[in-house]
């Protein structure tokens, strides 16, 4: 019952593609996942610029989006090939690819909630010969959910621990929290998006440096500044941060328009770059710790961090300072590199889909019920036949409510 899957993902920081080769033993909620190999591949600068143009409210979407869809597909296909090459594993041994794609639009408020991820799954199937399970968020959104977070089921499989209440904090473009009470059942898992994170800090750094520096490496600029408390308190009052879970945050809420307003206000008050970055980093940390205390069960035993934000030493220090009574460590100490969590999740979600197991948690996303997630693009005839045989020979579909 051992199979290999690839997970492909890219965060809202728009910096590159993550690929994880994962071995899966067992099926459904009894499965065990082992990371075989992980890689991160930076987007070329011209591709990153195209993503930024398409994502910008002023971008000419009609001219760029189809080209971006194709180029992202080519980039993800190369990453799939490389992760198997580096692991000395043949693509023919892989069952399928879980493909999270590049989210460029996600808006769950209003009359017509929607989400859009690019990456041309058909191209990835063509290049690799593998069946692709993609577009996981859409089914949850049309079922009334937020589409985020979809990691809790996989976090439950990877990180729950008898005798220890763990909280996973993902420091990506947006920061998310997942609570795994000690020896919990799947229905006890809570997850939601808590705060803006790298999407705010990176946009701010790009804006004030004229694009010369895409991010504040290690928080070295922020640590030199002073926190402007009135500004932090004003940002904390943002309506999106007052909603109770289940909730997701629109990337646009703290994206370019928000950053433009912040920078213009800073110019009028002669606020320095260092002070602005310091204040924004304090704001991110305060959002996360406030949400953890307000919306999750009390007294967590341990906090596990993942995502690109773990490299920001200043942000790490602030979180440690505000959560001083709780041990805090990267998920690396549990066998999974911090940047790999989303790619591993994509592989796990694809495995659950082929096992006929719903993978969204209504308690986390707010959907009307658990759903099978993803769109399936067949690979080569041989690979597709293999996937069909696997699905046909499984037992009756398992449900999350039975776990």
61-86 vs 121-128: helix axis angle to the nearest 10?
30
Please check whether residues 180 and 220 belong to one and the same domain. Answer: yes
For residue 290, CA distances in Å to 148, 200, 323 come to: 19, 18, 10
Strands 16-25 and 32-42: antiparallel
- C-alpha span between 27 and 395 (Å, rounded): 10
The structural domain count of the chain equals 2
* Residue-level pLDDT at 59: 55
User: Residue 364 falls within a domain, yes or no?
Assistant: yes
Q: Which of 338, 355, 388 is the last residue of a domain?
A: 338
> Is residue 156, in this structure, part of any structural domain at all?
no
Structural domain of 383 = 2-151+341-402
Q: Final residue of a domain: which of 286, 311, 338?
A: 338
CATH label of the domain that carries residue 223: 3.30.420.40
DSSP tally for the chain: helices H, then strands E: 13, 13
Would you state the pLDDT for residue 399?
58
Residue 65 has a pLDDT of 86
Closest-CA residue to 303 (of 177, 122, 141, 172): 177
Report whether pLDDT(252) > 90: no
Q: Are 172 and 307 in contact (CB under 8 A)?
A: yes
pLDDT for 170-199, tens place per residue? Answer: 999 999 999 999 999 999 999 999 999 999
Q: Could you tell me if 354 and 95 are in contact, meaning their C-beta atoms sit under 8 angstroms apart?
A: yes
What value does the mean pLDDT take over residues 343-371? 95
Check residues 195 and 393 and name the one with the higher pLDDT: 195
Model pLDDT for residues 288-319, shown as the tens digit of each residue = 999 999 999 999 999 999 999 999 999 999 99
Q: Is the pTM of this model over 0.75?
A: yes
Tell whether 157 is covered by a domain: no
Check whether residue 57 and residue 24 sit in a common domain: yes
């Amino acid at each position: 019952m051992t199979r290999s899957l690839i997970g492909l993902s890219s965060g809202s920081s728009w910096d590159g593609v993550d690929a994880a080769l994962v071995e899966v033993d067992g099926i459904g909620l009894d499965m065990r996942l082992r990371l075989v190999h992980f890689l991160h591949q930076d987007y070329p600068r011209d591709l990153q610029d195209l993503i930024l143009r398409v994502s910008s409210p002023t971008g000419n979407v009609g001219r760029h989006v189809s080209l971006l869809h194709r180029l992202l597909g080519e980039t993800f296909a190369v990453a799939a090939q490389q992760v198997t090459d580096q692991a000395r594993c043949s693509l023919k041994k892989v069952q399928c690819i879980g493909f999270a794609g590049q989210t460029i639009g996600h808006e769950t408020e209003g009359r017509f909630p929607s989400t859009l991820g690019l990456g041309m799954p058909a191209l990835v199937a063509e290049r690799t010969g593998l069946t692709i399970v993609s577009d996981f968020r859409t089914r949850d959104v049309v079922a009334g959910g937020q589409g985020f977070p979809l990691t809790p089921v996989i976090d439950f499989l990877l990180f729950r621990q008898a005798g220890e209440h763990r909280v996973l904090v993902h420091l990506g473009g947006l920061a998310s929290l997942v609570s795994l009470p000690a020896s919990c059942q799947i229905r006890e898992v809570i997850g939601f998006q808590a705060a803006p994170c790298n999407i705010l800090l990176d946009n701010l750094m790009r804006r004030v440096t004229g694009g010369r520096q895409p991010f504040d490496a290690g928080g070295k600029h922020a640590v030199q500044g002073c926190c402007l408390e009135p500004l932090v308190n004003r940002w904390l009052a943002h309506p999106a941060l007052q909603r109770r879970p289940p909730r997701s945050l629109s990337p646009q809420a703290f994206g370019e328009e928000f950053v433009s307003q912040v920078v213009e206000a800073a110019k009028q008050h002669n606020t320095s770059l260092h002070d602005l970055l310091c204040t924004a980093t304090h704001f991110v940390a305060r959002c996360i710790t406030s949400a953890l205390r307000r919306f999750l069960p009390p007294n967590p035993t341990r906090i596990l961090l993942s995502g690109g934000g773990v490299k920001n030493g200043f942000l790490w220090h602030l979180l440690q300072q505000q959560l001083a009574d709780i041990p805090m460590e990267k998920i690396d100490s549990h066998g999974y590199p911090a940047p790999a969590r989303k790619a591993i999740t994509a592989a796990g979600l694809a495995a659950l889909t082929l096992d006929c197991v719903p993978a969204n948690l209504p308690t986390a996303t707010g959907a009307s019920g658990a759903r099978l997630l993803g769109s399936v693009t067949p690979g080569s005839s041989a690979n597709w036949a293999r996937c069909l045989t696997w699905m046909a020979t499984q037992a009756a579909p398992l449900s999350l409510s039975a776990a």
